[in-house]
Amino acid sequence: EDQVTQSPEALRLQEGESSSLNCSYTVSGLRGLFWYRQDPGKGPEFLFTLYSAGEEKEKERLKATLTKKESFLHITAPKPEDSATYLCAVPEGNNRLAFGKGNQVVVIP
């Protein structure tokens, strides 16, 4: 059973067109939710950790929020350099993460 489901799988945005990515999870007793960014041919790069419902974190044009069942990654006025795959993950043990399949974002100039 999938613990993490991300939608949409792929998204094409015009530069400046804000949007949101969704990550829903089914684990009980959440011990954190992680967002990573992955560029083609590279390893995932850590963005945020969220621990409790209502928590928000921001980094440049990205803002991550968390509810009891899902997390959103909001991209405000994206630029082409925001093009990447965004991965969501939850812990399923000591430091092992269960990842979703990712949201592939392409920002068109």
Residues of this chain that interact with another protein (CB under 8 A) are: 4, 31-32, 34, 36, 41-46, 49, 87, 89, 91-102
d(C-alpha 41, C-alpha 26), whole Å: 29
Strand partners, 62: 59, 75
DSSP label at 47? Answer: E
Using the structure block, give the residue that is written with the tokens 């949409």: 8
Least Cβ distance, residue 95 to another protein (angstroms): 5
Number of neighbouring beta carbons within 10 Å of residue 51: 10
Least Cβ distance, residue 13 to another protein (angstroms): 20
- Indicate the residue among 13 and 89 with the shorter CB distance to another protein: 89
* Amino acid identity, position 108: I
Least Cβ distance, residue 14 to another protein (angstroms): 24
d(C-alpha 49, C-alpha 64), whole Å: 9
Least Cβ distance, residue 15 to another protein (angstroms): 25
